Structure 1
Amino acid sequence: MIRPATPADIPVIHTLIRELAEYEKALHEARATEAQLHEALFGEHPAAFAHIAADDTTGDPVGFALWFLNFSTWRGVHGIYLEDLYVRPTARGAGHGKALLTELAHICATRGYERLEWSVLNWNTPSIAFYESLGARPQDGWTVYRLTDEPLRALADHRPS
């Protein structure tokens, strides 16, 4: 069962994010608070959206997808950028990940979005195999760059007054 997240899901989303960060060997980088997640997902100007995968029998959350809109200047329409997709290890193989991606693909199709994109760590071969089994392909020729922390602040300091 896939459903849109509600404010009551914030604690479980926070827990799942931390589980994902631990799986990706980067728990020390997962600094988001429940208050920040609530504001991002349900504040006055939501910046992101989330869906919950729930166990069909118990209804307990077993995974989530957190996403936001991007925009293609070449295609002239929005797309979805999937920030996080995570299914608890005990629930893997039951179709929850595919169901979450299917829901996002449906949102793209019904809203006229032409892309569903995400990043995956190069070492995460089980996820890569899963994504490729759905028809997803890596984008050769592109490298992700990121500014954070001190380099981001240093660049911001160079802004003319």
Structure 2
Amino acid sequence: MIRAATPADLPQLCTMVHALADYHGDTATATVADLRRDLFGATPWLHALVFAEPRRLLGYAALTQLARVQYGQRGMDLHHLYVCTDYRGDGIGKALLAASLDYARHNNASYVTVTTLPGNAIAQAFYLAQGFQAAPTTGLRYALNLVDKT
């Protein structure tokens, strides 16, 4: 069953966030408190959907808002899509993606983006098979760390 994440899901959700980071060779530092703030805080930053069995979550999708201000368009970025290793290939990813697209439409988004690593051919093929089109970025992107390093 797919449903919106709840505060009770946060420990399992955090474990899956870390598993996705590990899969990509990254080290996650997100905590349950971080997820609580970003999903259920005073200013929610993310929306998460989970694929839930009675006692266990098998996957999740996390979306965040985007905009193309010059076109008056709202969008969503499918920031994460994860399915537990033992359940891949069972249609859970497709179901989470479909629910994510429904959520975006319900919130008046006119587009959804997703990013894959250049070498992740499995994810690229998955998104192409679901109707996404390659949308390479143009221009340079810059970042500024706002966290005090002292």
Distance 1:112 1:39 in 2: 24
- If the length of structure 1 is used for normalisation, what is the TM-score? 0.83
Give runs of aligned pairs for residues 4-153 of structure 1, distance below 5 A. Answer: 4-27=4-27, 30-55=28-53, 58=54, 60-142=56-138, 145=141, 147=143, 152=145
Number of corresponding residues: 148
Aligned partner of 1:94: which letter? D
SS at match of 2:64: strand
Aligned residues: percent identity?
A: 31
Unaligned runs of 5+ in 1: 157-161
TM-score by length of 2: 0.89
Q: CA deviation at 1:20?
A: 0.2
SS across alignment from 1:106: helix
Output the CA distance in 2 between the equivalents of 1:78 and 1:129.
26
Q: Distance in 2 between matches of 1:144 and 1:101?
A: 29
Query: Over aligned residues, Cα RMSD in angstroms?
Result: 2.1
Structure 1 or 2, whichever has the larger Rg, is 1
**CA–CA distance in 1 between the matches of 2:140 and 2:124?**
17
Q: Distance in 2 between matches of 1:51 and 1:137?
A: 23
| Structure 2: gaps (5+ residues) | none
Structure 1 runs (4+) deviating above 4 angstroms are none
